[in-house]
Structure 1
Amino acid sequence: MAKHIFQLYVYIFTILQVSCESKSCNVSKTTMVEVKRCPKTAEEWNIAASLKNCSAVHQSCVPSYEFKYHCVKNGNSTILLEVCGPVWRSAGYCVEYNEAGHILQDNYNENCTIFSKPCSRTYISTDIYKYQGCYELVTSDTPIDREKRKHSWGERITIDKIILVGVTIILSLVLLAFIMYKKRAHIARINKNAIRFLSGPGRYTEQV
């Protein structure tokens, strides 16, 4: 049982580590092109993806089948971009392309779950065309805004690392508590059998 719990712990830790990993990919910036509009339907998306042919781009960030076409806003929400990059799993926010970090990421200022046509609480970045509200652009961009967006990638990675460490500590404490409980239960069984053996006739048999 303890072995299974440990295996589960390792599996959860691995999943959390992968999900918090940066999907930064320098090559993605070379595929970036400004566009006037993004696809509105699955058909339009598939046509645009076929023309972009992201799987043919030479890169070593992810397997070629995970290097996908995207159409999203830039980090300042001032232009629309077509770009190839690793698929990103959003936590219910509009996805953007951070030019400084060369990464697709959530824009935490745009919670698309509260839009009139809301997004799912989790969705993959290649489904963003389903949530057209994420393509609305801002009308102004101040130097302060640009500076904030420039550092947003690093801040997001820091937050993810804090979450990963916190969850890892909690799982470690749970695993330790379980091991201690099993150890005490085993000792209690041994003591019980010893008392039974010493207090009466009969053959001693350890109960596992």
Structure 2
Amino acid sequence: MSQKPKLHYFNGRGKMESIRWLLAAAGVEFEEEFLETREQFEALVQDEALVFKQVPVVEIDGMKLVQTKAILQYIAAKYNLYGKDLVERVLIDMYVEGTTEFMEVIMSQPFLQNEEKGMQPDVFIQKAKTRYLSVYEKILRNHGQDFLVGNRFSWADIQLLEAILMIEEKSADVLSDFSLLQDFKQRISEIPTIKAFLLPGSPRKPQPDDKYVEAVNAVLKMYYKVAFN
């Protein structure tokens, strides 16, 4: 019997959250080891688990994988969530990259100093609507199918739902002008593995709070100070 994947990251969302989403959507149980001290991080470095001295790292199939995109692509391919051919795969990659760009803006906000705070909330939400949500609404309208690519459930659908829920945390009515995305959200949320991941008590992480920010800074800032100064 194969071992469960083991995820090494902080006890919060960050770049690991999309990996949690993808594994959960595939129905794969996983274990987590949370980084809370610099010593834990350095132990991973010494163990050569962090090829580029960065997390996340995922132990799976006898490998220690780093680089978020590579990890996600491997999991998507392994669990048949990556399209049936090269054309579908590049579309999935394209849509995932689009959602990831905006999700990273959201993820960065708690770590910015007051004087560095990003765009104002109204500007932020307007950009989400015009540059991202309107694009996916048009994609769904043009092909008239339930899913983004190939009319079957894929990594692209999972990533878009994650992004939608992140944006809704900033503006609950952000989908008010996007009827097809409202239906999409409902449809994908009802997929059994996704539905289970959205329930309380699942491995899904809450919005980052001060404790999470402090934990990340305590590990990574100390490391970068030694490594680069």
The structure, 1 or 2, with the larger RCO (C-alpha pairs under 8 Å, 6+ apart) is 2
TM-score by length of 1: 0.23
Give the number of the structure whose residues are more often strand, by fraction: 1
TM-score by length of 2: 0.22
Give the number of the structure whose residues are more often helix, by fraction: 2
Query: Looking at CA atoms only, which structure, 1 or 2, has the larger radius of gyration?
Result: 1
